Structure 1
């Protein structure tokens, strides 16, 4: 089966240039509407689906983004490989503003979001020990390099609730934990992508040094936006290079994550939940 690439664009990335026969298409899901319509077209002969995470015009906060609807809409649109592109702060001197980090681990410090498609009447526990697809992540790294970015492969993403930035004490604490970048949107997105059996990769575009760096002062939105504008061009080039690099399967079990995850006995499953989850978990239900 040919891959269908989904792109969730973070701050500054609100469209994908170069899509052929592109149409903004409305979707609804059992969890409500996604952040915006989905832009569906082809790029390099590959079907591609784009969704601005915060909506066009940036109308959703990190906490009000409907993460379940976003991932469910991508799944309903046929997406098999989902790439998250997001702006982040950095906790490392060598991961400087303008660099791209291909995230491979997360620490989830969010607390005001729905984090699973499952629930009473249909309970499931998926593994997120290795939360990203290694093959898709490698493709993103190569595509980003082709797009002119300085790329770091591997990094731990601290997901904070927001919308405020970190205090200095928090910033220093997260550095002590061994975190590499900080953002507000990759959780629960990554967990939901795993429940939806999607290949998932996270590309962090560094915009600042959070508030720990003694020579760079506190995080200012004006500085972030200036760096972000430069990153967007490199992100667009990365997306354009992806179709030729993404393979159909990774061999890491992304597409079979639900094989042993559902705990509720078949005769105890809520019929309404089965219907609700038909798009997400229909393969195993």
Structure 2
């Protein structure tokens, strides 16, 4: 089944007709929330709220291993992860969706592999291209039929949080080649790769990153973009579930 991971602003999918709830407990602990099974346009999908339902977990507090293990156990065959990000370059304006094709990891101290026990085999996954090509192409084709503002490609910079970045840090990320910045892309993406689950990311730009605006960004402005933007994301994901595969 196709699975969606919802980030900030997407704790629930209002257009999802819920048919089952799976309160799973993995060997890595409990996921952020129960895995919800439902229907979109008659197609069965899974949904997991990354930060819990209600939103209570900060990015560094998310049990990413439990989340991915629970989705795998519930029958996920591919994952589309949604997140709210800051825009760094002109290719990532506020309100637009970005379909990134690369990633740089600036996080630290997070459990980033399933294979860190002496009882586990030594595994080094190829992570040259963090996002599944076929899944990205399918999302790109779906975006092309929508009326949403979006950009194909870009580099996601994953920072530790929970604080926002300084202007100097954003300048460094831009020099490194990052187009957007968020706090949840890693280790989520690499854990999906370890489980051989195709994974792609859909990022909603909710504000200019630090130093990229002429005025102070308020939470009210960010919340307004999230509210309007995630409504479009929900419609897009429903159409994607109908057409995917």
Q: Under TM normalisation by the shorter chain, which class is it?
A: over 0.9
**Residue deviations 1:188-242, cap 9 Å, x none?**
0000000010010000100111112142x34432221111111111110111111
On the 8 A contact 1:144/1:237 being kept in 2, the answer is no
TM-score by length of 1: 0.81
Change in 2 beyond 3 A, CA 1:116/1:78:
same
**Structure 2: how far apart are the matches of 1:109 and 1:90?**
17
Change in 2 beyond 3 A, CA 1:222/1:52:
same
Aligned counterpart for 2:233 among listed residues 223, 235, 247: 235
Matched residue SS, 2:143? helix
Change in 2 beyond 3 A, CA 1:94/1:132:
closer
On the 8 A contact 2:40/2:242 being kept in 1, the answer is no
User: After the TM superposition, which of the residue ranges 141-150 and 79-88 deviates more from structure 2?
Assistant: 141-150
Larger radius of gyration: 1
**Structure 2: how far apart are the matches of 1:192 and 1:218?**
36
On the 8 A contact 2:142/2:240 being kept in 1, the answer is yes
Change in 2 beyond 3 A, CA 1:18/1:223:
closer
Change in 2 beyond 3 A, CA 1:213/1:18:
closer
In the other structure, the counterpart of 1:162 is: 161
Aligned counterpart for 1:18 among listed residues 15, 20, 23: 15
TM-score by length of 2: 0.94
Q: Aligned runs of 1:90-101 on 2, under 5 Å?
A: 90-101=87-98
On the 8 A contact 2:91/2:151 being kept in 1, the answer is no
On the 8 A contact 1:95/1:101 being kept in 2, the answer is yes
Cα RMSD for the two superposed structures: 1.4
User: After the TM superposition, which of the residue ranges 68-77 and 217-226 deviates more from structure 2?
Assistant: 217-226
- Stretches of structure 2 that go unaligned for 5 or more consecutive residues are none
**Structure 1: how far apart are the matches of 2:199 and 2:82?**
11
In the other structure, the counterpart of 1:264 is: none
On the 8 A contact 1:101/1:153 being kept in 2, the answer is yes
On the 8 A contact 2:22/2:74 being kept in 1, the answer is no
- Stretches of structure 1 that go unaligned for 5 or more consecutive residues are 248-285
**Structure 2: how far apart are the matches of 1:9 and 1:145?**
22
